[in-house]
Amino acid sequence: MNRIATALCAHLGVLASLFALHAPLANATPSGRNILFIAIDDMRIEPQALTPNIDALANESTRYNAAYAPAPFCVSSRATVLTGLKPSTHGVGLKFESFLLSQASYNDLFTDPQITTIQEVLGANGYFTATTGKVNHTQFPAKWDLAQPYTLPTWNPADPGPDGTYIEPTVLPPGETHPDQEVADWAVSFMQGYNASAPFFLAIGFYQPHLPWRVPQWAYDLYPAPVPYIPEPGDFDDEPNAAVRLAENLIWTGNNPNNPSQYDLIEDAGKAADYTAAYLAAISHTDAMVGQVLAALAASPHATTTDVILWSDHGYHLGEKFHWRKFTFWEQSVKVPFLIKSPAITAGDVDVEVSLLDLAPTLLDLAGLPAEPQFEGVSLVSGRSPVEIFYDKGRATVANGIKDIDYDVDNPGPNHLASYDLVNDPLELVNLTPPGC
């Protein structure tokens, strides 16, 4: 028996005592179905990416083709998903320039005794809750029945690297286990060994394609040079100054306007194609991890009694709008993959806009549990919330194919507004309310 399975068996041996701690809420009628909850970091919707396992899951799922993150930043988006609170309510991570402050406010939110999380609500209603990988931005083991420690890569985001771009793709050496592989292995062992009567909520998080891009050679080999398509930057001709500031700011070199943007650094180094391929390789590596977990589920006794949810906390720019990474209101940063496989929701395409704010109440609905008053969204089984996205001083809404952005909601005036017709202009090249209108 491997070390993961051995440790898991030891944990499962104390299930009975853990269940005794749960006090199901009055009138709760759990469905008895397990939930496999798969979070992926920084994964945009990318047609070039080779993702056969996620594609196979999508073919059996409800596919939310216009799903939006509540914020284009890890700590803020994940805080919303796990607490069911809007970023404007929890206030976490709205300004990337204050990352350390954002992490502190994230910790304050999740240690506030007045704030509950989706796993705590499920746990109070008879679910066994288990997690590993990057689900929470910080794990907070006390909020789970079982929280398996995991390894995140160590890297210095302020190091410009050999190319001077603050990005350095590398190959995982043969024989070294990728941290996401550790997550997949543990999840596989959990499902193979779980035999308790209570349903489980298994939440796992894969950090790639988040930086650093460090995956085995086989993943890079899927994308030999040249990559099929390198995104075009478009233009800033009709964008408000606030939008340009977000796109061009490279936090690692400070806010000096004379500093080059990360886009300029990557272009000057001639690395756009290489980095695009590296990002795609990281996606394909995560797809392989997802495939291992789904194969284990299919081979387990839980195959027909488990709902599967797959989502990403936000997207990623690959040079569009002269920008790399996230932290914008444009589609590359805020539109995300989102799949639900459950008999409670009809499989197929859903093209209307939805928000990840609705994920927590949807989980309760799938579990057959009553709504949690704290959660500000609604269940996608029966409805949806308006799509709102928050970041920096701004707010965006998306409805009926139109995106409206106000980059400074506290100050009236037209010079910080933008609107796009996403149906006819999916690349957001034409601002329908340019500055001065």
Domains detected in the chain: 3-16+32-233+265-388 (3.40.720.10)
Alpha carbon distances (Å) from 433 to 233, 241, 298, 398, 401 = 20, 13, 50, 15, 15
Q: Is 32 left (phi over 0), alpha (psi -120 to 50) or beta?
A: left
- The conformational region for residue 335 under phi > 0 = left, psi -120 to 50 = alpha, else beta, is beta
Task: Provide the token pair at 12.
Answer: 């499962």
- Per-residue pLDDT for the chain (437 aa), expressed as one digit of tens each? 444 444 444 444 433 333 333 333 334 466 789 999 999 999 999 999 999 999 999 999 999 999 999 999 999 999 999 999 999 999 888 776 566 667 778 888 999 999 999 999 999 999 999 999 999 988 899 999 999 999 888 888 888 999 999 999 999 999 999 999 999 999 999 999 999 999 999 999 999 999 999 999 999 999 998 887 888 898 898 999 999 988 987 666 555 566 788 999 999 999 999 999 999 999 999 999 999 999 999 999 999 999 999 999 999 999 999 999 999 999 999 999 999 999 999 999 999 999 999 999 999 999 999 999 999 999 999 999 999 999 989 999 999 999 999 999 998 888 899 999 999 999 999 999 977 65
- As a dihedral over the C-alpha atoms of residue 195, residue 196, residue 201, residue 205, rounded to 10 degrees, the angle is -40
Residue 330 φ then ψ, to 5°: -75, 165
pTM: 0.92
Half-sphere CA count of 180, side-chain side, radius 13 A: 29
Cα 431 to Cα 437: distance, rounded to the nearest angstrom: 11
